[in-house]
């Protein structure tokens, strides 16, 4: 089974953070949002995944998963973009 990294937002994520998908990360939300996977059964959804709850520390602690503030995810995305343009990513696999 492939282990996936997913960033989960309680509400719709800022549109610029959808670029995480360019790097192979999943982006999901607990509410219905355009262009974002909606999670209805959170307990089942997170099995077999490395989960980072964004912007909701209490939910992350309740689930026993990682937490990141929106600003930290923005810095991570900026770092990814500086280190290697997405066009080169397929050559790394």
User: Per-residue pLDDT tens for 2-18?
Assistant: 558 999 999 999 999 99
CATH number at residue 70: 3.40.50
Q: Specify the number of domains making up the chain.
A: 1
Instruction: Work out the mean pLDDT of the chain and round it to a whole number.
Output: 88
Q: Which regions of the chain does DSSP assign to beta strands (E)?
A: 4-9, 26-29, 37-38, 49-54, 66-68
pLDDT at 28: 97
User: Per-residue pLDDT tens for 58-75?
Assistant: 999 999 999 999 999 999
Range of the domain at 48: 4-92
Is the overall model pTM greater than 0.95, yes or no? Answer: no
* Structure token pair of residue 24: 């192979």
pLDDT at 19: 93
> Is residue 34 predicted with pLDDT exceeding 60?
yes
């Amino acid at each position: 089974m492939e282990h996936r990294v997913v960033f989960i937002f309680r509400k719709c994520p800022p549109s610029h953070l959808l670029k995480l998908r360019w790097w192979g990360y999943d982006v999901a939300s607990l509410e219905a949002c355009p262009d974002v996977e909606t999670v209805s059964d959170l307990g089942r959804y997170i099995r077999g995944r490395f989960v980072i709850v964004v912007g909701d520390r209490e939910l992350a602690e309740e689930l026993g998963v990682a937490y990141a503030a929106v600003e930290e995810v923005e810095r991570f995305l900026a770092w990814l973009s500086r280190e290697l343009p997405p066009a080169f990513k397929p050559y790394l696999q």
